[in-house]
Amino acid sequence: MKLVIAVIKPFKLEDVRDALTALGVQGLTVTEVKGYGRQKGHTEFYRGAEYAVHFLPKMKIEIVIPDDREDQVIEAITASAKTGQIGDGKIFVTEVTRALRIRTGEADNNAL
């Protein structure tokens, strides 16, 4: 199995979820994160003080999928998260050696 980690722009979350459910992906986990990258942040100022805010709000999506769906899922995310502008984000894939559904004890692909 694979763990697909996608860091995307927050307002694209619903689009990505729709694209994934269209593919039959039944579960995913989302985290609010701050991203640092080529996309520049902004400056906030408070009376005398200025603070450069380098970290921009992003959404991190984690999805564990059977090996054979990797390409499909990546394509779906890319297509739905893309605006073409800097800061669209990244997709990373790592290997998952085991998966388990807590409620039923089902394992691996059956657990997803």
Partner 1 sequence: MKNKVLLPIGVVFFIAAARPAFADAGTINAADTAWMIAATGLVLMMTIPGLALFYAGLVRKKNILATMAQSLGSVAIVSLLWAGAGYSLAFSGGNAWLGSLDRILLAGIGMDSTNELAKNIPEALFMLYQMTFAVITVALIAGSVADRMKFSAFLLFGAGWLFLVYVPVAHWVWGGGFLGAMGMLDFAGGTVVHLNAGVAGLVAAYLLGPRRGYGTENLAPHDLSLAVIGTGLLWVGWFGFNGGSALSASPRAVMAIASTHFAACAGACVWMALEWWSRGKPSVLGMISGAVAGLGTITPASGYILPWHGAVIGVLAGLVCFWACTVLKERCRYDDSLDVFGIHGLGGALGTMLAGVFATAAISVTADTPNGLPGALEGNWDQLRVQAIGIAVTAVWCGVVSWILLKLIDAMVGLRVGLDEERMGLDVTLHGEAIQ
Ligand X SMILES: Nc1ncnc2c1ncn2[C@@H]1O[C@H](COP(=O)(O)OP(=O)(O)O)[C@@H](O)[C@H]1O
Q: Is 102 in the site for partner 1 (CB under 8 A)?
A: no
Exactly one of 2, 58, 77, 80 binds ligand X (CB under 6 A); that residue is 58
Residue 39 binds to ligand X (criterion: CB under 6 A): yes
Residues 18-57 that bind partner 1 (CB under 8 A): 42-49, 51, 53
Least gap, CB of 32 to partner 1 (angstroms): 11
Q: What minimum distance in Å lies between the beta carbon of 43 and partner 1? A: 7
Among 17, 23, 72, 109, binds a second copy (CB under 8 A): 17
The encoded tokens of residue 110 equal 């059956």
φ, ψ of residue 40 in degrees (nearest 5): -80, 150
CA 104 centroid distance within chain: 26
> With b meaning 16 or more CB within 10 Å and e meaning fewer, what string describes 13-26?
eebbeebbeeeebe
Q: Is 91 helix (H, G, I), strand (E, B) or coil?
A: strand
Residue 74 in contact with a second copy, rule: CB under 8 A: yes
Quick check: 40 binds a second copy (CB under 8 A)? no
Residue 63: beta bridge partners? 4
